[in-house]
A = this chain, B = another copy of it.
Amino acid sequence: MSAIVHVGAFGHVHLVGAGPGDPDLLTLRAYRLIAEASIVAYDELVSAAILALIPSSAEKIPVGRRKGTCPNAPSIHPDVLARALAGHDIVRLKGGDPMIFGRGGEEAAELAALRIPFSIVPGISAALGAAASTGIPLTHRDAASAVTFATAQLRGGEMRSLLDRVPKEGTVVLYMGLSTLRELASRLILDNHRDASTPVAVVSHATLPDERTVTGTLETIADDVEREALPAPALVIIGDVVAHRSEPASAASVVRNARATRKSA
């Protein structure tokens, strides 16, 4: 096994966005870093298809998401830290984009405090992946000139109000909102005065072969999703843009197209 070791110096940590799941949606830089890595740390939001790209000779460190740890605990995993301090370069893969709900900023600050060199590679955040594969735009001339990404986090068992974090107009995308969808939808109607008939789409496993989308309104969506037994992780897209959906050709028909007559022009 060949590895880059910095003699008498710290290793370089690459905080790398792995995108929504489809390996074809990795950036060129992310792909190269994975293919050439000798140590890769990853959490459970990184898809199996992307993990399959890690060289068999590389050390793989599953760091999990460490739920239930103290809120002030370091964001960076101790095994990642130990290897960087010992002079090893590390690729830290994160689902989606490191700087949007990925704790990339927190990890970067911890690395900077220890003077461990790092770089950040952006990734296709789940909302962008879901928009492209479903054909639901996030902004639209006639429907939304702004889009807000928010989480549906529970803090100490209680949901933080969306009121101050979500504007009156424009598209709202909720990350990890499936388990709290019923309460979220009613809050948006009651607290944020969003119309009960506002269109909503819930996209499960966006960009993966088993992607599924359920559409409804703020009033119906919790029941719609329950009836369809939609699995997590899923993304919730709320706003008039959902009514402007134009479904792209399916992957199967794209393959058919690629097999179309080739001619010399």
Contact = CB atoms under 8 A, between A and B. Distances in A.
B27 A104 contact: no
A29 interface: yes
Interface string A153-174: 1000000100011111110000
A196 interface: no
- Per assembly, the copies of the chain total 2
Interface string A6-29: 110100100001010001111111
Nearest to A249: B117
B145 A170 contact: no
A244 B146 CA distance: 24
A151 to B, nearest CB: 6
Given A29-B25, A167-B166, A6 B132 contact: no
Contacts of A164: 167-170
A145 B165 contact: yes
Contact of A100 (B26, B105, B138): B138
Nearest to A265: B3
Given A29-B25, A244-B105, A262-B4, A146 B129 contact: no
A128 B25 CA distance: 15
Contacts of A128: 17, 97, 99-100, 122-123, 125
Given A99-B139, A146-B149, A169-B164, A254 B12 contact: yes
A27 to B, nearest CB: 5
Interface of A: 1-7, 9, 12, 17, 19, 23-29, 31, 38, 71, 75, 89, 97-101, 103-106, 108-109, 111-112, 117-125, 128-129, 131-133, 135-141, 145-151, 153, 160, 164-170, 241, 244, 246-249, 253-254, 257-258, 260-265
